[in-house]
Chain A
């Protein structure tokens, strides 16, 4: 496999700064050299490539858009997005790992934590010494996180947590979990607060979810919290209500919108190369109109998604991006990426089902990405509410 050269039909590169391109190119070659040779095998065997964590940390991939004073790279949001794009060009599981660590674990500590918590956790998380996970979703509360039944009761010395969380990326790898729980009545979504829970605390257990046919190179776990007692300073003091975890999700969804473009680029790249080289009826299949229609469609959608991300990133850097704009990008980009992966899989014919090629791995992964961090349908309703002012959720 040659070096990945990206997809850039509209000279989007000229809209990026020198540093933004340098960041992207560094991550791109790292993925080429360190992930691509091993990802197929890890995927088939259902293993996250843990051995890459120290290298990811050394590159500065964790919480890369958080400030330097906490050991982070202090990048702007466009550069951060480009990192996510390149990681997911490799595999959605690897991008998920970095998304969770940065946007769902380090970000809430940065946004809702005390100075002491920030100083204690962020540098070690940036260095990859502490891996985190994010516990919001529960077995019966996915699209409706406000319904959660995990509770935190104040005790003499701190808090006692009880409940269960599901679909938790990095759950069994993590040394620290950001757990969201209700501190008041079960119908009081405003009582939701965030807690930093060390995973070796008594009563905390994580079990890998088996039988996944998607995101196989990523750990997904179920967390059980049974009378887990944590000190007072485990509480994220500035977290308040459901909007706090939703703010984290907006960060992660922003990265996903970029990541999906990366997965789509990987598939398109594979489709083009296959179409030019695969001979059928004595000529390259790329010379047939049906395959050309596929490729034209893919290039069009990737180019649109790319520009969408870039403008969203620029808005975010100006502090102007809204959660609804992030929803539009996540919804569109993951959906088109899934289509691109599926069409690539089909263009590749029988070869398209092999792990040796990327398309089916990306396709299977993207089905999860389509569903997590706000399903496609939930983002549709968020946009519907934005457009009409009417809530269609319940």
Chain B
């Protein structure tokens, strides 16, 4: 079973990001970058499928700057077999152009499965996985929370409002993974050492400019301090009054 996992280098969710002097990019100084957490579920699932099958290959592919090699090596340390970096300079904001570059790489790769995290935690676009599926004309299931693969087809569960949707699909297919699918392993120390020796192809890539351009970035407005109107039932009428007259939500 050959599985490709597309991953992204993103700023750590705990990092306080600063906007760079140009007003439209991030100041990367002092920012820690990590493997996108939703992609960790994808890597873990790919490793489990390979381990269960007892044979196969897990290839991780990222589109990103040279430093994304480090992110790929995190996945290699978890156990993936090899990595491919479609190397660009800086970040690419356009989901479709990213998808086209990945699709071009994947078109002749003869994968049984192509996995993505359901979204990247930097831009929250939810786009690239389904776009790659469309470009490659493959079936696609998004936000997979449970997965079974057997006999050339798969069954996936998606958590939907008030229930679970069960989807059957033929292979090859593109899936995007959700929290709850599995618990990603820690890269063991031996894995970290072994990752250095695994193949990592760096392919300079120049995606088209796309339709999307970042004009400016601004931090969200600072949150106002809350207000405690009182305690117990005596405070209810004041709370209702404030919700109606000040917050205007009633």
Q: Could you tell me which A residues sit within 8 Å of B by CB distance?
A: 2-3, 5, 18-19, 22-23, 26, 29-30, 58-61, 64, 68, 73-75, 79, 83
Given contacts A5-B32, A18-B70, A18-B73, contact A60 B189 (CB under 8 A): yes
B162-192 interface mask toward A, CB cutoff 8 Å, 1 = contact, 0 = none? 0000000000000000000000001111101
Given contacts A2-B14, A18-B70, A59-B186, contact A26 B192 (CB under 8 A): yes
Given contacts A5-B14, A74-B193, contact A22 B77 (CB under 8 A): yes
Q: Are B188 and A59 in contact (CB under 8 A)?
A: yes
Given contacts A5-B32, A30-B186, A59-B186, contact A19 B192 (CB under 8 A): yes
Q: How far apart are the CA atoms of A73 and B196 in the complex, in Å?
A: 13
Chain A: minimal CB distance from B247 (Å): 25
Contact of A60 among B73, B74, B190 (CB under 8 A): B190
| Other contacts beyond A22-B195, A64-B189: 20, CB < 8 A | A3-B14, A19-B196, A22-B77, A22-B187, A22-B192, A23-B192, A26-B186, A26-B189, A29-B186, A30-B186, A58-B188, A59-B189, A60-B188, A68-B193, A73-B188, A73-B189, A73-B190, A73-B192, A75-B193, A83-B189
Name which residue of chain A comes closest to B196, CB basis: A19
B185-223 interface mask toward A, CB cutoff 8 Å, 1 = contact, 0 = none? 011111011011000000000000000000000000000
Q: How far apart are the CA atoms of A165 and B73 in the complex, in Å?
A: 46
Contacts of A83 in B (CB 8 A): 189
Contacts of A58 in B (CB 8 A): 188
Q: How far apart are the CA atoms of A19 and B188 in the complex, in Å?
A: 12
Q: How far apart are the CA atoms of A60 and B190 in the complex, in Å?
A: 7
Given contacts A22-B73, A22-B74, contact A61 B14 (CB under 8 A): no
12 of the cross-chain contacts (CB-CB < 8 Å) are A3-B12, A5-B32, A22-B73, A22-B74, A22-B192, A26-B192, A29-B186, A30-B186, A60-B189, A61-B189, A79-B189, A83-B189
Contact of A19 among B12, B14, B32, B193 (CB under 8 A): B193
Contacts of B74 in A (CB 8 A): 22
Name which residue of chain A comes closest to B32, CB basis: A5
Contacting A at CB under 8 A, from B34-88, are 70, 73-74, 77
Chain B: minimal CB distance from A58 (Å): 6
Q: How far apart are the CA atoms of A350 and B73 in the complex, in Å?
A: 45
Q: Could you tell me which B residues sit within 8 Å of A by CB distance?
A: 12, 14, 32, 70, 73-74, 77, 186-190, 192-193, 195-196
Chain B: minimal CB distance from A382 (Å): 31
Contacts of B187 in A (CB 8 A): 22, 26
Chain A: minimal CB distance from B95 (Å): 28
Contacts of B12 in A (CB 8 A): 3
Q: How far apart are the CA atoms of A58 and B195 in the complex, in Å?
A: 17
Contacts of B14 in A (CB 8 A): 2-3, 5
Q: How far apart are the CA atoms of A68 and B190 in the complex, in Å?
A: 8
Contacts of B32 in A (CB 8 A): 5
Q: How far apart are the CA atoms of A59 and B77 in the complex, in Å?
A: 11
3 cross-chain pairs, A with B, having the tightest CB-CB distances, nearest first: A60-B189, A73-B189, A3-B14
Q: How far apart are the CA atoms of A146 and B140 in the complex, in Å?
A: 71
Residue from A58, A60, A64, A74 having most chain B Cβ neighbours under 10 A? A60
Name which residue of chain B comes closest to A126, CB basis: B190
Chain A: minimal CB distance from B222 (Å): 15
Q: How far apart are the CA atoms of A18 and B192 in the complex, in Å?
A: 10
Q: How far apart are the CA atoms of A59 and B186 in the complex, in Å?
A: 7
Q: How far apart are the CA atoms of A95 and B196 in the complex, in Å?
A: 27
Contacts of A23 in B (CB 8 A): 189, 192
Q: How far apart are the CA atoms of A30 and B185 in the complex, in Å?
A: 10
Q: How far apart are the CA atoms of A106 and B138 in the complex, in Å?
A: 53
Contacts of B192 in A (CB 8 A): 19, 22-23, 26, 73
Contacts of A75 in B (CB 8 A): 189, 193
Chain B: minimal CB distance from A80 (Å): 9
Contacts of B186 in A (CB 8 A): 26, 29-30, 59
Contacts of A60 in B (CB 8 A): 188-190
Q: How far apart are the CA atoms of A60 and B196 in the complex, in Å?
A: 17
Contacts of A26 in B (CB 8 A): 186-189, 192
Q: How far apart are the CA atoms of A2 and B13 in the complex, in Å?
A: 10
Contacts of B189 in A (CB 8 A): 23, 26, 59-61, 64, 73, 75, 79, 83
Name which residue of chain B comes closest to A79, CB basis: B189
Q: How far apart are the CA atoms of A68 and B194 in the complex, in Å?
A: 11
Chain B: minimal CB distance from A172 (Å): 28
Contacts of A18 in B (CB 8 A): 70, 73
Q: How far apart are the CA atoms of A5 and B73 in the complex, in Å?
A: 21
Q: How far apart are the CA atoms of A272 and B186 in the complex, in Å?
A: 29
Q: How far apart are the CA atoms of A148 and B124 in the complex, in Å?
A: 65
